[in-house]
Amino acid sequence: MAQQKPPAKVDEDLPVIKVDVDLVNVLFSVRDKKNALVATCKKEDFTMIEEGKPQTIKVFAREIDLPLTIGLLVDVSGSQERLIPEEKAAAGQFFQQVLRKKDMAFLISFGAEAELLQDLTGSPKLLREGLNQLRLNSGVGGLHAGTIPNAKQKGTILYDAVALAATEKLKTEVGRKAIVLITDGVDVGSTYTRQQAVEAAHKADVIIYSVYFVDYGGYGMRGMGGFGGGGDGDLKKMAEETGGRFFSVGRNQSLGDIFTQIQEEMRSQYVIGYSSTNETRDGAFRKLEIRLADKNLKAQSRKGYYAGKR
């Protein structure tokens, strides 16, 4: 289980995300036509739409200092073996740079099984020690580090890892929550589907940042064919549905570059809070849209939420 933290004292002058079953909170970023982050918007620049109906915005703020809770999920299946050293180095630097006072993070590796390498902590040192435990995991395995249960499967349980991180580690946390997922996008053996993993993220109010990192040599002459579902298409959908972004490591963009972009985005978010005009708590999925008065700007946010009791 996630470690319990004592309630923090809140400065009444600072905006916070309210824990209220009747208040829908939507975290989002704003970008211009050149895809640059925009940090100067005001409440009156936005219209919040739920199922086609405008909503009254009760909370609006730019959440630069709201604490972050980050789950880093790293693919350590056979095809990723040669990428692990770079993942260790870049992720260690990321944690060193991104974590501030009150921020928390945890680390999960996944291949044939999901393994919790470091539970929630604010210590970059402990997270680096967890990263040093990253190792190939491509055989048949069982349970590891008790808090992340999974079936004994051979393959790459990508969707299981996302769903379990959202449900077991992030759902009970408050504030801004994100999963940073480093993988080639191939899933073999998960009990969850991609859509079920996205649903778990929605219900936990989690943003997914998908990082497509592929060692094509790891597949030999077979390429990506003949394996389970996945690839960059599924990673893009998971990110877009939850309000995150998709990245691809390549010649012009290193893993370190991508971590820097994720860090900048997470420090440049807005929050809108509103009480839905539809008071029914039926557990149904409701589509969301954030419209801007300036048509040259676009909001990057989750596509909806589940209107059930939390």
- Residues 233-254 have a mean pLDDT of 95
pLDDT at 21: 54
Q: In the chain, what is the straight-line distance between the N-terminal and C-terminal CA atoms, in Å?
A: 18
Tell how far CA 181 is from the center of its chain: 7
Strands 285-292 and 46-50, how do they pair? antiparallel
Structural domains of the chain in order of their starting residue, each with its CATH number: 24-64+270-306 (no CATH), 68-266 (3.40.50.410)
Residue 154 has pLDDT above 80, yes or no: no
Q: Which of 305, 259, 297, 273 is nearest to 97 (CA)?
A: 259
Tokens representing residue 14 in the block? 């600072």
pLDDT at 1: 46
Strands 24-31 and 298-301, how do they pair? antiparallel
pLDDT at 268: 85
Query: What is the average pLDDT value for the chain, to the nearest integer?
Result: 85
Contact between 257 and 221 (Cβ < 8 Å): no
Tokens representing residue 196 in the block? 């079920």
- Rounded to whole angstroms, the Cα distance separating 182 from 185 reads 8
- Rounded to whole angstroms, the Cα distance separating 223 from 217 reads 8
- Rounded to whole angstroms, the Cα distance separating 200 from 7 reads 25
The interaxial angle of helices 124-131 and 84-98, nearest 10 deg, is: 170
pTM reported for the whole predicted model:
0.84
Contact between 283 and 2 (Cβ < 8 Å): no
Q: What is the pLDDT of residues 211-221, one digit of tens each?
A: 999 887 655 53
Residue 128 has pLDDT above 90, yes or no: yes
Tell how far CA 23 is from the center of its chain: 21
Q: How confident is the model at residue 277 (pLDDT cuts 50, 70, 90)?
A: very high
